[in-house]
């Protein structure tokens, strides 16, 4: 039997779901739309939830700083649908009801000249993430998936080790991709080291 050709591109969502299925002894699938195979939809849901959890911590690849927050026609500033976290640069604004709220004036409405910027943490599609992030998310999701479906302590320890290695690689990537140090940005360094 001939082996399938090697795929030299970053893992896709389908690849990761198949790796989760293989971790519990299930056969891989050709598509994520497989009727009647409950494990596929569970694996995809856990992968999606894990991706949201990991990305919500804010990394170099999914955070924009000084991002302009445009005013809507009704005078409010809506939070973009795929924003996981919005931290306005002006401390008088906070997120409330998926809009920015001006705590100083106690209103959602801002003036026409208001130029509000914020640090925005985005929830990116799986294929938009760098390979290193996909691998970390896949390993973390694999541990959770196996724990929910099989519950084997031996597999749990094995998956935990693989997740730890992927997390270390992911953290190294962060340190290389951000130009921060302990003296110029201790808060940023603290965020990197206190992710889990």
Mean pLDDT per block of 10 residues along the chain (196 residues) reads 62 94 90 85 96 97 96 95 96 95 95 92 97 97 92 82 94 83 54 58
- pLDDT at residue 6, rounded to an integer: 61
> Nearest-CA neighbor of 50 among 190, 166, 187?
166
Can you give the pLDDT at residue 98?
96
Q: Determine the Cα–Cα distance for residues 15 and 128; give it in Å rounded to an integer.
A: 15
Question: So what's the pLDDT on residue 153?
Answer: 80
What's the rounded Cα separation, in Å, for the pair 54 and 93?
25
Prediction pTM value: 0.82
Q: What percent of the chain has pLDDT over 90?
A: 67
Please tell me the predicted confidence (pLDDT) of residue 36.
74
* Alpha carbon distance 91, 71 (integer Å): 17
Provide the pLDDT for residue 121: 98
Cα–Cα distance measured from residue 29 to residue 27, given in angstroms and rounded to the nearest whole number:
7
Q: Looking at residue 116, what DSSP letter applies?
A: E
């Amino acid at each position: 039997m001939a082996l399938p050709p090697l795929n030299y591109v970053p893992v896709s969502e389908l690849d990761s779901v198949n790796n989760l299925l293989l971790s519990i002894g299930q056969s891989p699938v050709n598509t994520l739309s497989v009727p009647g195979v409950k494990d596929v939809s569970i694996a995809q849901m856990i992968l999606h939830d894990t991706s949201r959890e990991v990305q919500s911590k804010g990394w170099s690849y999914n955070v924009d700083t000084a991002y302009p927050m445009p005013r809507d026609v009704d005078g409010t500033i809506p939070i973009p649908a795929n924003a996981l976290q919005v931290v306005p640069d002006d401390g008088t604004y906070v997120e409330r009801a998926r809009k920015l709220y001006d705590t100083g004036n106690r209103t959602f409405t801002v003036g026409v000249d208001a130029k509000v910027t914020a640090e925005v943490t985005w929830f990116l599609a799986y294929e938009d993430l760098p390979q290193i992030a996909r691998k970390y998310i896949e390993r973390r999701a694999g541990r959770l998936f196996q724990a929910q479906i099989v519950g084997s302590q031996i597999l749990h320890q094995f998956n935990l080790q693989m997740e730890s290695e992927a997390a270390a690689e992911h953290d190294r990537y962060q340190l290389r991709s951000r130009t921060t140090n302990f003296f110029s940005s201790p808060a940023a360094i603290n965020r990197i080291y206190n992710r889990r």
